[in-house]
Structure 1
Amino acid sequence: MIDATTTASATRVVVLGATGCVGRAVCAAYARTGARVVGVARTPLPGVDHRFRPLDIAGTAPADLARILADEGVDTVVNAAGGWGRPEELKRGHVQLVRRLVAALGAMETRPRLVHIGSVHEYGPMAEGTSVSETAVPRPDSAYGRVKLAGSRVVLRAAQAGTVDAVVLRVVNVYGPYTTPTSFLGALRERLRRSGPEGLTVSVAPARRDFVDARDLAEAVVLAGRAPVNGRVINIGRGVAEEVRDLVQVLLETAGLRPGAVPLVDAPVSSNGGAWTRADIRQARRLLGWCPRSGVRESIEAMWEQG
């Protein structure tokens, strides 16, 4: 496989959503290549080594955003912005932001490569035992999946029209360093850090999900920033459906708890992704020369230590 740390460095990369789990990993991965990294988010993050520019992309006019990107001399833009929230927040962060970004890139004289972070939830429910490929017709059944798909389609339509140079990475559940506390595993980590195991009971659905370490995803982003993949959708995951209960057990062990110290009780499947997700990652191997490196325990240990 190609090691992202040995590829030729970009002149300058702008990472949107630079303070989140994925954005932080992407900034670090590009910095290792020698690239000049500019992190962008609404609120600065203390203690980072790269340049940071506070900016609300969704609230910035495309012409102004195009001028800002041109002033930075950027040749790659990574959109790792957005997150969970109320419906209006989801639409603003995953659709309005993308529309303004794509319009800005299309207006630039020299167009940077856009690597847009999409989601496996764009595909919608999956049949147990299957692996979803990029040829699947997206049928999201959640608000998050629908706005992510809407944003990805904005990018793909512009790429097909020739107004942007872009690739969409459809990414499975992300964990590893700085896992967001809005996720199931991130919320459990925060609860254990804050209050310990006393009085804690964890409700776990009988679900199996594909997870990828943020650092592995970041390597895929760096590779996608230079590969000839304009207009493509590429799945990024481990290609393994992990038992969520097993992930919880590993997290509890990593927190130093003995088996059985925290009761696990069955709960219905109610979150995005349903009872099963697994990505077919053959395209990532073929087009990017990428494959995941981090195992479950390594990723959960990093999540515990850097959270």
Structure 2
Amino acid sequence: MAAGDAGMTGDGTGTVVVLGATGWIGRHVLAAHARTGRPAVAVAREPAPHLGGHPFHRLDLAEAGPEEMARLLEAHDARVVVNATDAANSRDGWHRPESELEKGNVGAVATLVDAVEAVERPPRLVHLGTLHEYGPVPDGTAVHEDTPPRPANAYARTKRAGSDTVVRAAREGRVDAVVLRVANVCGPHPSPASFPGVLLERFRRAVAGERVSLRVTGDRRDFVDVRDVARAVVLAGDRPGVSGRILNVGGGRAVGIGEMVAWLRRTSGVDPDRVQEVLEPVAGMGGGWMLADIAAAGRLLGWRPVVPVSDSLHDMWYA
């Protein structure tokens, strides 16, 4: 069934199905919808303690077929479905073979698009991509949605392919869908292998009395609080006129990695001798500079980031 903003309700009613609901972003998306009073269903491979009483459905999107996914959406009368899954995650690991990344970031997305198209009353699909899809850009450059993507590694290539699948289907009128390209995330309950998650783990060990080392680079990257991301997802589920669009979601400035370390030092109150900073390159998903142009999200969603990185790290520490 073709859809062009057809699944959008406009009044914030109806059920939201959150795929990847137990992940870092997914749990906050679930909570953000709960705060609106909108019923939400959590979908993931395994349940987690933080689901907070939301209905849970066990499903691995990378293994499911479109018929199974469509039945799930029909059963819950989904008006919005959020794809917060990612083939690179804390359970499966960040460094996976390209074939596995293809399966989770491309094949699973195609399955979801087919499922949404097959539903009698199709929901809006909000798909979470990544700013890494653009690839490295010169220092000082803010990537705009029209910036030609030049992904630099298998992860970014497969994420771009998944986003392209969603946008193409929406522009062909097959589904009502929007893609949010999300910058580096920070904030409460980080994934352990993410940079904020590594920072948190090292500083907790240091506060407990260990001496730890931390690799620090001169990189500057766009970090956005996970709760700001969740707000953007809620807005993207209901705003008219955004089907077929890609919208950047970022924090609005490039933050030095050293700044983040300094903020967490102050927040944690750790003994300065307990954390040794080692200046050397750190492997990442993209280049040493990242900044999103977020004007389109402001214009079309009425969204802007409101949590400064310093507050985000503070809340991460005390969560």
Whether TM exceeds 0.5 here: the answer is yes
Measured against the shorter chain, the TM-score band is over 0.9
Q: Give the equivalent residue in structure 1 for 2:173.
A: 162
Q: Give the equivalent residue in structure 2 for 1:282.
A: 295
| One-letter code aligned to 2:293 | D
Deviations 1:47-87 (CA, angstroms, capped at 9, x unpaired):
42311111111111101211111011000000001142312
Q: Give the equivalent residue in structure 1 for 2:229.
A: 217
Cα distance in 1, alignment partners of residues 184 and 118 from structure 2 = 33
Cα distance in 2, alignment partners of residues 293 and 107 from structure 1 = 37
Which one of the candidate residues 34, 38, 47 is aligned to 1:35? 38
Cα distance in 1, alignment partners of residues 12 and 167 from structure 2 = 25
Cα distance in 2, alignment partners of residues 260 and 249 from structure 1 = 13
Cα distance in 2, alignment partners of residues 90 and 245 from structure 1 = 31
Cα distance in 2, alignment partners of residues 227 and 189 from structure 1 = 35
Q: Give the equivalent residue in structure 1 for 2:91.
A: none
SS in 2 for 1:217: helix
The answer to whether structure 1 residue 150 and structure 2 residue 183 are counterparts is no
CA contact (8 A) 1:79 1:116 kept: yes
| One-letter code aligned to 2:68 | D
Which one of the candidate residues 53, 76, 92 is aligned to 2:80? 76
Cα distance in 2, alignment partners of residues 30 and 123 from structure 1 = 29
Which one of the candidate residues 34, 56, 60 is aligned to 1:56? 60
Which one of the candidate residues 270, 275, 292 is aligned to 2:283? 270
The answer to whether structure 1 residue 117 and structure 2 residue 128 are counterparts is yes
| One-letter code aligned to 1:304 | W
**Equivalence map 1:67-146=2 (5 Å):** 67-84=71-88, 85=94, 86-87=96-97, 88-146=99-157
CA contact (8 A) 1:58 1:92 kept: yes
Deviation at 1:253, TM superposition (A): 2.4
Cα distance in 1, alignment partners of residues 74 and 128 from structure 2 = 22
The answer to whether structure 1 residue 235 and structure 2 residue 248 are counterparts is yes
Deviation at 1:142, TM superposition (A): 1.4
Deviation at 1:126, TM superposition (A): 1.2
Greater mean alpha carbon deviation, residues 24-33 or residues 263-272: 263-272
Greater mean alpha carbon deviation, residues 83-92 or residues 150-159: 83-92
SS in 2 for 1:57: coil
Greater mean alpha carbon deviation, residues 89-98 or residues 190-199: 190-199
Root-mean-square deviation over aligned CA pairs: 1.5
CA contact (8 A) 1:115 1:166 kept: yes
Cα distance in 2, alignment partners of residues 132 and 166 from structure 1 = 22
Identity %: 50
Deviation at 1:197, TM superposition (A): 5.6
Cα distance in 1, alignment partners of residues 288 and 68 from structure 2 = 43
Q: Which runs of 5+ in 1 are unaligned?
A: 1-6
Q: Which runs of 5+ in 2 are unaligned?
A: 1-9, 89-93
Please give the TM-score of this superposition, normalised by the length of structure 2.
0.90
CA contact (8 A) 1:13 1:74 kept: yes
Deviation at 1:29, TM superposition (A): 0.6
How many residues are paired up? Answer: 300
Deviation at 1:160, TM superposition (A): 1.1
CA contact (8 A) 2:213 2:278 kept: yes
Q: Give the equivalent residue in structure 1 for 2:196.
A: 185
